[in-house]
Amino acid sequence: MKKTIVPGRVITLEHKKIPLPNGYIVQMDVIKHLGAALIVPFLNRDKVILLRQYRPVIKKYLYELPAGTAEKGESDLTTAKRELIEETGYSAGKMTLMGHIYPVPGYSTEKIAIFKAEKLKPVKYHAEEDEVISVQTVNKAAVGKMFKSGQMTDAKTICAFAMCSWL
């Protein structure tokens, strides 16, 4: 049994009964999500682009790597290329899929594809009005310090840096 509680453009909240491998049936509220892509944009071997982005839901600025939600029917790679340009003003000559993560598998289907972007070139872009972002260049040592000091708390960013052996 599945009942849509709140339909949405990016997410949909459903209440459903799900059978477990042991035969027990659980009732759960599930957020259906289109998926997302995150990009680790390397300017060179020791420098990446990092964002300081305001997140209105938690009313705080976070240090994050560029990322965004897929549009309906969009591939992970297409999402990554679009978000890199929209959030940083760079395009990548080379994109490598590093892997996938499930940020909140206890209640959401969201799956994030993590890409490493190299051979960056500046491109014309228009910052989106609904995002407050400042673009920064940081080196590996700075990323480590930000993580150890508690300045870097965005889980998807931490996972991506770990996948690239930066943490």
pLDDT tens per residue across span 100-146: 999 999 999 999 999 999 999 999 987 788 899 999 999 999 999 99
Domain identity same for 60 and 15: no
Domain identity same for 134 and 151: yes
Domain identity same for 65 and 113: yes
> CB atoms < 10 A from the CB of 1, how many?
8
Name the catalytic one among 14, 74, 129, 131.
129
pLDDT, residue 9, reads 86
Domain identity same for 89 and 22: no
Please give the mean pLDDT across all residues of the chain.
Answer: 96
Please give the model's pTM, rounded to 2 decimal places: 0.92
Domain identity same for 5 and 58: no
Domain identity same for 116 and 133: yes
Domain identity same for 59 and 141: yes
How many domains is the chain built from? 2
> Residues 41, 57, 38, CA angle at the centre, nearest 5°?
20
Domain identity same for 61 and 138: yes
Rg (CA), the chain: 17
Q: Per-residue pLDDT averaged across 34-48, rounded?
A: 97
Domain identity same for 56 and 82: yes
Instruction: Tell me the residue range of the domain where 7 lies.
Output: 1-33
Burial 29-43 (b: 16+ CB within 10 A, else e): ebbbbbbbbbbbbbb
- Phi, psi angle pair for 58, to nearest 5°: -105, 0
User: Per residue in 15-24, pLDDT tens?
Assistant: 999 999 999 9
Domain identity same for 64 and 4: no
User: Per residue in 77-105, pLDDT tens?
Assistant: 999 999 999 999 999 999 999 999 999 99
Domain identity same for 123 and 111: yes
- Write out the DSSP string of 118-131: EEEEE------TT-
pLDDT, residue 82, reads 97
Domain identity same for 23 and 43: no
Q: Could you confirm whether 118 is annotated as catalytic?
A: no
pLDDT, residue 84, reads 98
- Write out the DSSP string of 89-105: SEEEEEEEEEEEE-S-T
